[in-house]
Amino acid sequence: MATLDHRLPLDLAVGSISLITVVITTTLVFDLSNAYLVLAGFQYIVLTALVLRVFQGSEAGREFGVANRVTLTRSTLIFAVSALLFESSPFKNEVYWWTIALSTIALILDGIDGMVARRTRTNTTFGARFDMELDAFLMLALSILVWQTGKVGPWVIGIGAFRYVFVFAGWLWSPLAAELPPSRRRKTVCVVESIALLVCLGPVIPTNIAVGVAAGALLLLTYSFAIDVRWLILREFSSPPLAT
């Protein structure tokens, strides 16, 4: 029977305390509804179930590790942001600045967890997937929030939905689900997309600039995915070139 890191339940409990602290503070300061608390908590419960199941299945016998603890902390900030999606919007400017602050800290922690994993030589498939899924979820939440500001049309959600469409396409045609080689270009574009969405979310950014930034970000993301799709297609039918 697979053994589970005995400290993992404690890590998840500490993460829940972090989430409760952030969402209660957000609720009280900005007078949000109880539904905000419920949604944030529900997201963390789902994450907890997934972590327990996937980590036990893929990393049996290994410690959860410091890098994954940083990622878990990052999830509490991301859920505090994504839970805003079902609140009435647009919000007061202060809520947008708070959202930008939480998301910025989450992005900084994104760099820290990778650095910790490399320095401690604890890189794992689970850790990389955990990190990537949270990146994608934050981007989806931010893109919807940008649309809800009224500055940019619903097409901006394409920035956050792009990866999920790609995954769905992989279910329909298995070659697109093949593992891609590591790519600095892919990581850089992910950071650029997140920053672009935060810029669009800024209350001081006028509509025309937000539209331009969002359109540029979507084009860049389309280009990046096109490179990956081309690589996967070439891999299926011939020898693929090196990814860049």
Domain spans of the chain, in order of start: 8-237
Phi/psi of residue 174, nearest 5 degrees: -55, -35
Distances (CA, A) of 34 to 30, 38, 77, 81, 83: 12, 6, 18, 15, 11
Note the Cα 110 to chain centre separation in Å.
Answer: 9
Long-range contacts of 36-39 (CB under 8 A, 24+ apart): 36/83, 36/84, 36/86, 36/87, 37/83, 39/82, 39/83, 39/86
What confidence score (pLDDT) does residue 1 get? 43
Query: How many other CB atoms sit within 10 Å of the CB of residue 62?
Result: 15
Helix 157-172 crosses helix 184-201 at what angle (to 10 degrees)? Answer: 140
Q: pTM, whole model, 2 decimals?
A: 0.91
d(CA 161, CA 107): 19
What confidence score (pLDDT) does residue 8 get? 86
Q: What is the CA radius of gyration of the chain?
A: 19
Check: CB of residue 143 under 8 Å from CB of residue 160.
yes
- The pair of three-digit structure tokens given for residue 125, joined into one six-digit string: 């498939």
CATH fold group of domain 8-237:
Four Helix Bundle (Hemerythrin (Met), subunit A) (1.20.120)
163 CB-side CA count, 13 A: 16
Distances (CA, A) of 62 to 7, 23, 59: 11, 31, 6
Indicate the average pLDDT of the chain.
Answer: 90
Instruction: Give residues with Cβ within 8 angstroms of 47, minimum separation 6.
Output: 75, 79
What confidence score (pLDDT) does residue 59 get? 59
Low-confidence ranges of the chain (pLDDT < 50): 1-2
- pLDDT for 177-203, tens place per residue? 888 888 889 989 999 999 999 999 999
What confidence score (pLDDT) does residue 154 get? 97
Query: How many other CB atoms sit within 10 Å of the CB of residue 60?
Result: 12
Helices (H), 149-183: 157-172
Note the Cα 33 to chain centre separation in Å.
Answer: 24
> With DSSP H G I counted as helix, E B as strand and the rest as coil, what are the percentages for the chain, rounded to 5?
80, 0, 20
What confidence score (pLDDT) does residue 240 get? 55
- pLDDT for 208-243, tens place per residue? 999 999 999 999 999 999 999 999 998 888 765 555
